[in-house]
């Protein structure tokens, strides 16, 4: 049943079984009607919660495109959230195109291919920033409604996301890099990663992979 909480209306919740395991799907709408989905895998009490915030990517998430790292990142995230025993994915279904919407995504992709450039240059040519993360302002309200731990460890390689979450009021204890194996990507996907790394603040940890062992994730329960 639909319920209103401040800016958010909860549309409903239900179990959802994925290849990574079972989540509780909590579906919300912002006042504008924009959907926000939280996939919750919380099986134990903890002082902290593992959080992944992801904007939609139709090509990477639904079509399995390897021209970007979105599909790999989502799969890795869901696995890690399940393994942590205390994880949440906050997903923005209508924020494709790095926040600018699907229409802009198509335009940017066309520019990339016609000019043979990466996404940063394509965004510059279109006169827009690389990404629009304004939707992250609603994340604290989502976390409060789903009643997870107030302190989070965030899965990301994007410092801009961390800055946005912190300025919105999320208490980020630790940043856990989410690095995709470039061998799983096309040449276009690899070029995108390289361009992001060289021209944005995106952090690359080329010498290390995240430690995704259960032991490492258990460590996230101990406040440091």
For the CB of residue 213, give the shortest distance to Zn ion in the complex, in Å. Answer: 27
CB 85 within 8 A of CB 44: yes
Contacts with Zn ion: how many residues (CB under 5 A)?
4
Candidates 4-12, 68-76, 98-106, 170-178; binding stretch for Zn ion (CB under 5 A): 68-76
User: Cα Rg for the chain, rounded, in angstroms?
Assistant: 17
* Backbone phi and psi for residue 56, each to the nearest 5 degrees, phi listed first: -60, 150
State the Cα–Cα distance between residues 123 and 104, nearest whole angstrom. Answer: 10
Vertex 35: Cα angle to 34 and 39 (nearest 5): 155
E-strand stretches of the chain: 3-5, 8-18, 21-30, 35-42, 48-55, 86-92, 151-155, 171-176
Residue from 8, 50, 57, 123 in contact with Zn ion (CB under 5 A): 57
CB 194 within 8 A of CB 187: no
| Nearer CB in complex with Zn ion: 73/86 | 73
Residue 6: CB atoms within 10 Å? 10
State the Cα–Cα distance between residues 134 and 141, nearest whole angstrom. Answer: 14
| Nearer CB in complex with Zn ion: 57/155 | 57
Residues 115-174, interacting with Zn ion (CB under 5 A): none
For the CB of residue 134, give the shortest distance to Zn ion in the complex, in Å. Answer: 19
| Nearer CB in complex with Zn ion: 67/221 | 67
| Nearer CB in complex with Zn ion: 70/123 | 70
Candidates 22-30, 54-62, 93-101, 148-156; binding stretch for Zn ion (CB under 5 A): 54-62
For the CB of residue 190, give the shortest distance to Zn ion in the complex, in Å. Answer: 13
For the CB of residue 91, give the shortest distance to Zn ion in the complex, in Å. Answer: 13
Candidates 60-68, 157-165, 188-196, 212-220; binding stretch for Zn ion (CB under 5 A): 60-68
Residue from 60, 99, 118, 119 in contact with Zn ion (CB under 5 A): 60
Candidates 57-65, 73-81, 164-172, 187-195; binding stretch for Zn ion (CB under 5 A): 57-65
Dihedral sign for Cα 193, 158, 58, 64, please: positive
| Nearer CB in complex with Zn ion: 60/118 | 60
Residue from 39, 51, 56, 70 in contact with Zn ion (CB under 5 A): 70
Cα→Cα distances 199→59, 68, 184, 203, Å: 23, 16, 22, 11
Q: What are the residues binding Zn ion (CB under 5 A)?
A: 57, 60, 68, 70
């Amino acid at each position: 049943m639909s319920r209103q909480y401040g800016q958010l209306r909860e549309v409903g919740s239900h179990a959802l079984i994925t290849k990574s395991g079972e989540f509780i799907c909590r579906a919300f709408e912002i006042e504008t009607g924009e959907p926000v989905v939280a996939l919750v895998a919380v099986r134990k009490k903890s002082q902290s919660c593992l959080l992944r915030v992801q904007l939609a990517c139709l090509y990477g998430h639904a079509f399995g495109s390897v021209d970007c790292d979105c599909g790999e990142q989502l799969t890795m995230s869901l696995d890690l959230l399940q393994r942590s025993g205390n994880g949440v994915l906050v997903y923005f279904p209508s924020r494709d195109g790095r926040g600018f919407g699907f229409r802009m995504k198509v335009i940017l992709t066309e520019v990339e291919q016609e000019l043979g450039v990466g996404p940063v240059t394509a965004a510059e040519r279109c006169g827009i920033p690389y990404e629009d993360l304004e939707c992250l302002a609603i994340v604290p309200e989502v976390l409060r409604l789903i009643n997870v731990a107030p302190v989070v460890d965030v899965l990301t390689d994007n410092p801009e996301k961390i800055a946005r979450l912190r300025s919105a009021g999320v208490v980020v204890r630790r940043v856990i890099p989410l690095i995709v194996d470039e061998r799983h990507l096309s040449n276009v996907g690899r070029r995108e990663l390289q361009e992001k790394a060289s021209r944005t603040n995106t952090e690359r940890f080329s010498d290390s992979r995240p430690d995704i062992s259960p032991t490492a994730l258990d460590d996230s329960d101990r406040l440091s």
